[in-house]
Amino acid sequence: MEPQGKYDCMIIGEELLSRTKEEILAEVERFGEGREHFYIVPDYTTDEQGRKIVEVFGENRLITGGSGILEHMAARYREEYDCRTGEELPTWTPGRGIALSGSCSTATCGQCQAYETEYPAIPVYPARILAGSQSAEEIWETVRSAGAGAGEIAQSAGKEAACQCAGVPEFLVYSAGATDPESRRYKDEEEAARASQALEETMAKLGKMAFDDGYTRIIVAGGETSGAVALALGFDAFIIGESIAPGVPVLIPLHNQNVRLALKSGNFGQRDFFARALSMTRDPKEAAPPKCGGMLDEACWIGKSLFDRGKTAGSSANLSFLYQGKVWITASGQCFGRLTEESFAVTDLDGNVLNGKKPSKELPLHLAMYKKAGSAVQAVIHTHSFYSVLWSCLPHGDSEDDVVPSYTPYLSMKLGKIRLVPITGRAARSCSPRSGREPARETAIFWLTTDRGWR
């Protein structure tokens, strides 16, 4: 506040805010001696602190900051004026949801990174907006087409129209600077200001496009972004709903009570804020969008299918898949027969762990496959199945490019070539194919790996 305002600031920290109203006001009186004007800036990280702020300062003429303070102001006035609330509106509402973030604060960066690990996300590059190589219309077409595809699937499955948003991807559209700090570097302040304005205008357009297309749940991060989106939607009065995080309530527009908004400043909310906000505002009858576009559920199903058919045993196998540039791989010690969402570690393509879980020791083998094959490989399943291991230990002479004879045309059509690739070293940390051959460009690529030292 002090760099932005022209008066001194009195910071009321957690310790002072825990005292009585009289003690707090006495400290304020002492700070104000000799000062005609000053700002009071209390801590507000919990709902209890919000209630104390209203108790002590609720009669002041101007209170500004986190919108969550209104929740406690409303409670005070209901009690003071004996207001009778009507039928309480639910936190949730039927319909599709989207999150928009223009903030690059420390908290929001972590929130964007957490969401894009599990759900679809689109980065917005202000420099590209200015250059004309990215636009709100292009971004919206990506969101709209993904939603339309999921709607067609729901319809073909015989679901009622009211539930057709079940399973529709809920996108986060965010400032690229949250995950790519280099994109926030501009040659001068003028270019930075133009980029900021372009970002807010883009987010406002996207909010309006979503609303016009029937989206009823819009989550917004960033103070300026929140203002731009709210103005674009034309909402100026809200019913304050349940708290998503301290200082961030669900907002219900007074004149359109089928809509749910959340407007937060940068450093508010938990790391899972976006997923939490979309979940809280979602109709309980509607299924949550699957994580990783459904690939996580498929990976668990595939693992159990292989286990049930005796293709693997114990915790000897491992599998992985790519999603939005991240590698999801079974964590160390996982049994294919019991895979769940919690059974996976997440890493980047350099092997850096992103979710704190220890990946399978054969992660380097998976990474080598992805890097060597490029987009031709999107998943790796490493089973150590009995007959494959046995076959890989036999000599194959000069036929290592295709080691399984095509006894039937169907085998050849379904599998294509199955190559034998030596693996270096005894420890999985040194697992990487020694072969310099490019993988075959079939739809599916199959490999047998061999190292008689550790098989």
Q: Does residue 247 sit within a domain?
A: yes
Q: Which residue has the higher pLDDT, 428 or 115?
A: 115
pLDDT band at 424 (very low <50, low <70, confident <90, very high): low
Asked if residue 146 and residue 259 are part of one domain, the reply reads yes
pLDDT tens for 87-136 read 678 999 999 999 999 999 999 999 999 999 889 999 999 999 999 999 99
pLDDT tens for 349-362 read 999 998 889 999 99
Chain-wide mean pLDDT for the chain?
A: 84
Q: Please check the confidence at residue 430 and state whether its pLDDT lies above 60.
A: no
pTM, two decimals, is: 0.62
- pLDDT mean over 141-160: 60
Asked if residue 144 and residue 54 are part of one domain, the reply reads no
Cα four-point dihedral sign 144, 279, 334, 111: positive
Q: Does residue 375 sit within a domain?
A: yes
pLDDT band at 432 (very low <50, low <70, confident <90, very high): very low
Q: Does residue 275 sit within a domain?
A: yes
Q: Please check the confidence at residue 12 and state whether its pLDDT lies above 90.
A: yes
Asked if residue 58 and residue 35 are part of one domain, the reply reads yes
Which of the listed ranges 194-208, 368-382, 429-443 does the model predict with the highest average pLDDT? Answer: 194-208
- pLDDT mean over 236-261: 91
Q: Does residue 319 sit within a domain?
A: yes
pLDDT band at 83 (very low <50, low <70, confident <90, very high): low
- pLDDT mean over 137-146: 93
User: Which residues constitute the domain of residue 274?
Assistant: 97-289
Q: Please check the confidence at residue 326 and state whether its pLDDT lies above 80.
A: yes
Asked if residue 270 and residue 123 are part of one domain, the reply reads yes
Which of the listed ranges 75-79, 263-267, 318-322 does the model predict with the highest average pLDDT? Answer: 318-322
Query: Considering 80, 105, 130, which residue would you say is the last residue of a domain?
Result: 80
Query: Considering 262, 289, 316, which residue would you say is the last residue of a domain?
Result: 289
Q: Does residue 167 sit within a domain?
A: yes
pLDDT computed for residue 149 by the predictor: 53
Q: Does residue 85 sit within a domain?
A: no
Query: Considering 238, 255, 289, which residue would you say is the last residue of a domain?
Result: 289
Q: Please check the confidence at residue 13 and state whether its pLDDT lies above 70.
A: yes
pLDDT band at 294 (very low <50, low <70, confident <90, very high): confident
Asked if residue 165 and residue 131 are part of one domain, the reply reads yes
pLDDT computed for residue 243 by the predictor: 92
Q: Does residue 120 sit within a domain?
A: yes
pLDDT tens for 378-414 read 999 998 888 888 888 888 877 778 888 878 888 777 7
pLDDT computed for residue 344 by the predictor: 95
Q: Please check the confidence at residue 369 and state whether its pLDDT lies above 90.
A: no
pLDDT computed for residue 400 by the predictor: 76
Q: Which residue has the higher pLDDT, 29 or 372?
A: 29
Q: Does residue 455 sit within a domain?
A: no
pLDDT band at 444 (very low <50, low <70, confident <90, very high): very low
233: amino acid identity, one letter: L
CATH number at residue 328: 3.40.225.10
Asked if residue 137 and residue 282 are part of one domain, the reply reads yes
205: amino acid identity, one letter: K
Asked if residue 340 and residue 283 are part of one domain, the reply reads no
Least confident piece of the model among 13-27, 153-167, 224-238: 153-167
- pLDDT mean over 361-366: 92
Asked if residue 442 and residue 322 are part of one domain, the reply reads yes
Q: Please check the confidence at residue 206 and state whether its pLDDT lies above 70.
A: yes
CATH number at residue 104: 3.40.980.20
Asked if residue 446 and residue 404 are part of one domain, the reply reads yes
Report the percentage of the chain scoring pLDDT > 90.
55
Asked if residue 117 and residue 40 are part of one domain, the reply reads no
pLDDT computed for residue 153 by the predictor: 41
Domain count within the chain:
3
Asked if residue 277 and residue 151 are part of one domain, the reply reads yes
pLDDT band at 324 (very low <50, low <70, confident <90, very high): confident
Q: Please check the confidence at residue 66 and state whether its pLDDT lies above 80.
A: no
Asked if residue 348 and residue 237 are part of one domain, the reply reads no
Q: Which two tokens stand for residue 19?
A: 């005292």
Least confident piece of the model among 1-10, 175-184, 293-302: 1-10
